[in-house]
Amino acid sequence: MSPFAGRRIVLGVTGGIAAYKAVEICRRLVEAGAHVTPVLTEAARRFVGEVTFSALAGERARLSLFEDEDPIPHITLGRRAELILVCPATARAIGAYAAGLCDDLLGATLLATRAPVVVCPAMHTEMWEHPATGDNLRRLTERGVTVVAPEEGPLAGGDVGAGRLAAPESILATAAEALAASGAAAGSMAGLRVLVTAGGTREPIDPVRFVGNRSSGKQGYALAVEAAARGAKVTLVATVQRPLPESVGPESVDLVLVETAEEMRTALADRLPADVVLMAAAVADYRPAAAVPEKMKKTGEPLTVTLEPNPDILAELGRSGSVGTLVGFAAETSDVLANAEAKLRTKGADLIVVNDVSAPRSGFDHDTNAVTILAAAGDRTTIPLAAKRDVARAILDRVTALRASR
């Protein structure tokens, strides 16, 4: 079967002379069974008319962020795409993408997608060899974008040199590889029973007050959503309710709301054994020894609340033998790696994901995080500051690699 059969591909066409070659790419993708949505920039339309693409794709070519039936076309296209192929990609389009500019439909779609992106540069040699183009492409490849390098050959205006759009065969082969790689991630947790915890536990002092912490649950939710996207059957034991994306149905993420560490412990124990447990929740180490049944009255006198230790759920899971791969987190503010190493040793986890929660834009409540994954086997993987969903991807890639190595 063709690697493109049934796959949703956005074909981004930007304005260079090689735009006419994108017609052939479009035709071949459609012939191979792909659902192709052509997205043309204003400049691309000066080279090839949108009707050509619409007729070949059997789908209206999309042109504008604002003059579209869909009020948010970039979001719809970005979410639906399984691959975005930018062919040809001009120096301007590459620069705009590297800079995160989204002033046209293609630029906005590229920013709104989590699908793999393949970029096929085509331009004159001087532009191809300009350091700005090189810098922009380096930035893109660092972010995971695949670049199909241009070839040497005849260029517009009778010139000959580097910058000619790569041959359709190599563009299609690279696109197929990118789809296969993302498909592999998509199915990499198929059938696994995964338990994820999220949010901070609330340990009651009385019916209205509690001992708590700053965890928003964002990192745990991102892990649950990503595990579900990879085919896992996920139970998310959380202290907070957050929206789940439309792509995640109740059959793939079962949400169990709890409040205290004791409730979280029971909810997890009831669902063992599990293939993978990801303890992203900030579990309170201590709880009030006795919750007062009525709201405590203000007396004006100092108040002493005696705290007693909560069970260490992660350490219990580590001893239980009922978890295939156990991933703990460590929220640290100093001696970050040394403290995380100690947790890795004492809690019986296979991996500890440590975040310095005092670092800018990291840890509690931020949409981004920066972590290091420590493995019991001794290796370390550092994930620089990234969206929590991307951090979740990296963590699950590490979990998958660990399981495969056993």
Active site members: 213
Instruction: Supply the minimum distance, in Å, between the C-beta of residue 396 and ligand PMT.
Output: 14
Strands (E), 274-401: 274-279, 286-288, 307-309, 323-332, 351-356, 368-375, 380-387
Q: Under the criterion CB under 6 A, does residue 399 sit at the interface with ligand PMT?
A: no
If we measure between CA atoms, which residue out of 120, 162, 123, 160 comes closest to residue 24? Answer: 120
The three-class DSSP label of residue 36 is strand
Piece of 81-89, 93-101, 133-141, 328-336 that binds ligand PMT (CB under 6 A): 328-336
How far from 161 is each of 86, 127, 135, 216, CA to CA, in Å? 22, 11, 20, 54
Over the window 346 to 365, marking each residue x when it contacts ligand PMT by CB under 6 A and - when it does not, the resulting string is ---------x-x-----xxx
Q: How far is the CB of 400 from ligand PMT (least distance, A)?
A: 19
Give the Cα separation of 11 and 83 in Å (integer): 9
Cα separation, 138 vs 147, whole angstroms: 9
Smaller CB separation from ligand PMT, 143 or 214: 214
C-alpha to C-alpha distances, 352 to 329, 369, 403, nearest whole angstrom: 5, 15, 15
Q: Which of 234, 313, 323, 402 binds ligand PMT (CB under 6 A)?
A: 313
Using the rule CB under 6 A, is 12 a contact of ligand PMT? Answer: no
Select 52 or 216, whichever has its Cβ closest to ligand PMT.
216
Name the token pair of 271: 């669902």
331 binds ligand PMT (CB under 6 A): yes
Q: Which of 230, 245, 246 is nearest to 186 (CA)?
A: 230
Binding mask 263-282 for ligand PMT (x = CB under 6 A): ----------------xxxx
Q: What CA–CA distances, in Å, run from 312 to 183, 235, 315?
A: 37, 20, 5
Please tell me the distance from the alpha carbon of residue 366 to that of residue 351, in angstroms, as a whole number: 22
State yes or no: residue 330 binds ligand PMT (CB under 6 A).
yes
Which CB sits closer to ligand PMT, 205 or 330?
330
Stretch that binds ligand PMT, among 14-22, 42-50, 251-259, 307-315 (CB under 6 A): 307-315
Q: Of 312 and 341, which CB lies nearer to ligand PMT in the complex structure? A: 312
Q: How many residues bind ligand PMT (CB under 6 A)?
A: 27
- Measured between alpha carbons, how far is 353 from 359 in angstroms, rounded to an integer? 15
Return the closest-CA partner of residue 165 out of 118, 121, 117, 119.
121
Closer of 172 and 261 to ligand PMT (Cβ): 261
- Nearest distance in Å: CB 222, ligand PMT: 8
CB nearer to ligand PMT: pick between 229 and 282: 282
The amino acid sitting at 385 is L
> Taking a C-beta distance cutoff of 8 angstroms, is the pair 335, 345 a contact?
no
Cα–Cα distances in angstroms (integers) from residue 337 to residues 233, 327, 352, in the given order: 32, 16, 10
343 makes contact with ligand PMT (CB under 6 A):
yes
Q: Is the peptide bond before 88 cis (omega within 30 degrees of 0)?
A: yes
Interface map 215-244 toward ligand PMT (x if CB under 6 A): xxxxxx------------------------
Phi first, then psi, for residue 235 (nearest 5°) are: -110, 125
The reply on whether position 312 binds ligand PMT by CB under 6 A is: yes
CB neighbour list of residue 302: distance below 8 Å, 6 or more residues apart: none
Q: Does 261 participate in binding ligand PMT (rule CB under 6 A)?
A: yes
Does 318 help bind ligand PMT (rule: CB under 6 A)? no
Judged by CB under 6 A, the residue of 50, 59, 285, 341 near ligand PMT is: 285
Go through the chain and tell me how many residues it has.
Answer: 406
Q: Which is nearer to ligand PMT, 83 or 261 (CB)?
A: 261
Q: Which residues bind ligand PMT (CB under 6 A)?
A: 215-220, 261, 279-283, 285, 310, 312-314, 328-331, 343, 355, 357, 363-365
